[in-house]
Amino acid sequence: MKLITFYNNYINLDVNGFDETWVLGKYTQITNFLKKKKPWFCFLYKLFPFITFIVFFEFCNALFNFIRTEKIIFSIITIFFIIVWSIATFYHFKLRFLPYTQIIVTSKVNLFNKDNILFLLVILSLIVSIVGGIIITFFK
């Protein structure tokens, strides 16, 4: 009897049999397969809940400072980042963004799926906010 159960933050794997060599071999074979199929962003899965609210509140604070100092472009970029970050957080807590396990059975992989586009938007808006903040300080 083989039992494999996928949870949102771990995998439960039970391999049973009469031959210990076969059981250990199958267990090793399955765990090696799952390790190879681990997504590149798996480290973010455990880190994301801890940093999500810190990032959100820090960018809200930055937004209020930009509005107070009348920096319209930075305000718009920061609002865009906050919206994209909120969407990413919403999908993460619904277990649809940055999944812990990603097993693709078909050979066709589409790079332009919802998760990759959302992740790219978060990274790009963060980079624009940081680079824009650095460039403005040099022009003062």
Regarding whether 88 and 62 lie in a shared domain, the answer is: yes
Regarding whether 67 and 2 lie in a shared domain, the answer is: no
> Angle formed by the axes of helices 114-139 and 72-93, to 10°?
150
Please give the tally of structural domains in the chain: 2
E strand segments, 39-136: none
pLDDT of 100 reads: 58
CA nearest 33: which of 4, 61, 71? 4
CA 120 to chain centre: 10
Regarding whether 127 and 109 lie in a shared domain, the answer is: yes
Supply 20's token pair: 């210990």
**How many C-beta atoms lie closer than 10 Å to residue 58's C-beta?**
11
Interatomic CA distance for residues 118 and 126, integer angstroms = 12
End-to-end CA distance of the chain: 70
Instruction: Convert the pLDDT of each residue in 65-79 to its tens digit.
Output: 888 888 888 888 888
Regarding whether 32 and 86 lie in a shared domain, the answer is: no
What band does 102 get if pLDDT is binned at 50, 70 and 90?
low
Regarding whether 94 and 131 lie in a shared domain, the answer is: yes
pTM for this structure? 0.50
Regarding whether 66 and 19 lie in a shared domain, the answer is: no
Regarding whether 51 and 32 lie in a shared domain, the answer is: no
Instruction: Convert the pLDDT of each residue in 103-130 to its tens digit.
Output: 554 545 567 777 788 888 888 888 888 8
Regarding whether 96 and 65 lie in a shared domain, the answer is: yes
Regarding whether 76 and 24 lie in a shared domain, the answer is: no
Instruction: Convert the pLDDT of each residue in 12-43 to its tens digit.
Output: 777 777 788 877 888 888 878 877 777 766 67
Supply 61's token pair: 């604070």
Structural domain boundaries enclosing 15: 1-36
Max intra-chain CA distance, the chain: 75
Regarding whether 108 and 74 lie in a shared domain, the answer is: yes
Q: Which amino acid, residue 103? A: I
Regarding whether 11 and 67 lie in a shared domain, the answer is: no
Interatomic CA distance for residues 55 and 68, integer angstroms = 20
Regarding whether 125 and 108 lie in a shared domain, the answer is: yes
